[in-house]
Amino acid sequence: MRETVQQVWKKRPMIISGPCSAETEEQVLETATRLAKTGKVDMLRAGIWKPRTRPGSFEGIGAKGLPWMQQAKKITGLPVTVEVATAKQVEDALTFEVDVLWIGARTTVNPFSVQDVADALRGVDVPVLIKNPINPDLELWIGAVERVAKAGIKQVGLIHRGFSSYGNTEYRNAPMWHLAIEMKRRNPELLMINDPSHISGRRDILLDVAQKAIDLDMDGLIIESHIDPDKAWSDAKQQITPERLGEMLGQIAWRKEDINSEEYHAALEKLRQQINHLDDELMQILGQRMSIAEKIGEYKKNNNITILQTNRWNEILERAFKKGEKLNLSKEFITKYFDAVHMESINHQNKIMNS
């Protein structure tokens, strides 16, 4: 049965899939048909205009691909979404009955572009998904949400697609999950979909990223799929076939936010109280640690010694790594934790030494 875009918007998890780019009519229609056949996809996606980082890459088929999406919708009964970056693209997409628009990461960074899109949306009733900006800046992301909402768009959603950084990492775009969590905390009324494709940049870790997103209570997934992934005109390395997508969605452990069980809630409450208790103790101890750092600051001040002593800092870290290993604490965590504690100590000493 055909679902309206309003029904799909409320569906959890909401699954969006389709090629990175619309390439040919056959490719769009065959991808759409095979996706619909999995029975696990709620909306079709395809890039029509592709903002590429470097010129010379495939920059999208353009408005000529819009009737293909319209046809894909007709054949499958699934709503469709495309990326828009200019007022003209909004107008063209709406002419061809695109159901949901999305704003890409390279557009979200630019308030002029977002405003241009927002102005074109005035008086239009179409849901809009807004990808995080390519740089880890929540204010820019929130700014884009505000511009679109101010234009009168009632249904705004977020897509977490990770953040770019210089140099090769495990991910094409670092997920920086804490930023997605903070964005959700600050905008609890907005749905948030995760984009494992653009985070991963490759097929072998798609499932892990998708599972993590579901574990963090994201509302859905947008995953790129292609009938012949290796031959895709853009983002070939991260695309999977519609059948593989169906299989992958079957492997994800879908979690719910809560259940109606007294036993579960009682057990959780008990453990959470223990955590609160330990957190209180940790804070007490950190406070004590800072008082000692201040005493050291007094001595350093009286003897005119620098705050930072690299040898001592190395010694602290080495000790912590050794101890951490025994306590099952990762080196990454120990580094972050001690960096933070050390900075706070330095700030305390700074106050003493410069008072």
**Interface residues toward Mn ion, by CB under 5 A:** 20, 235
Going through 72-207 in order, the beta strands assigned E by DSSP cover 80-83, 100-103, 128-131, 156-160, 191-194
By CB under 6 A, the residues from 170 to 199 that bind ligand PEP are: 198
Which residue in 221, 214, 157 sits closest to 190, CA to CA? 157
Out of 28, 32, 78, 131, the only residue in the binding site for ligand PEP (CB under 6 A) is 131
- Answer for the pair 195, 131: CB distance below 8 angstroms, yes or no: yes
Q: Does 157 bind ligand PEP (CB under 6 A)?
A: no
Q: Which C-beta is closer to ligand PEP: that of 117 or that of 320? A: 117
Identify which range of 98-106, 136-144, 240-248, 296-304 contacts ligand PEP by CB under 6 A. 98-106
Judged by beta carbon distances under 5 to 8 A according to partner kind, the member of ligand PEP, Mn ion, none in contact with residue 105 is ligand PEP
> Choosing among Mn ion, ligand PEP, none, which partner's interface includes residue 161 (Cβ < 5 to 8 Å by kind)?
ligand PEP
Please, what is the minimum distance in Å from the beta carbon of residue 197 to ligand PEP?
A: 7
Beta-carbon contacts of residue 65 (< 8 Å; ≥ 6 apart): 22, 28, 46, 48
User: How many angstroms separate the CA atoms of 136 and 121, rounded?
Assistant: 26
Q: Interface with ligand PEP by CB under 6 A: which range of 4-12, 100-108, 254-262, 268-276?
A: 100-108
Measured from the CB of residue 36, what is the shortest distance to ligand PEP in angstroms? Answer: 20
Smallest distance from ligand PEP to CB 286, Å: 39
* Phi and psi angles of residue 329, each rounded to the nearest 5 degrees, phi first: -105, 130
**233/338 with CB nearer ligand PEP:** 233
Q: Which is nearer to Mn ion, 100 or 334 (CB)?
A: 100
Contact call for residues 180 and 160 (beta carbons, < 8 A) = yes
In the bound state with ligand PEP, the residue whose beta carbon lies nearer, of 19 and 297, is: 19
Encoding tokens for residue 317? Answer: 């870290």
Of the ranges 101-109, 116-124, 272-280, 316-324, which one interacts with ligand PEP (CB under 6 A)? 101-109
**HSE of 315, CA atoms in CB hemisphere, 13 A:** 5
How far apart are the C-alpha atoms of 81 and 90, rounded to whole Å? 12
* Rg of the chain on CA atoms, in Å: 25
Q: If you ran DSSP here, which 8-state letter would residue 191 be given?
A: E
In the complex, which residues of this chain contact ligand PEP (CB under 6 A)? 20, 47, 104-106, 131, 161, 198
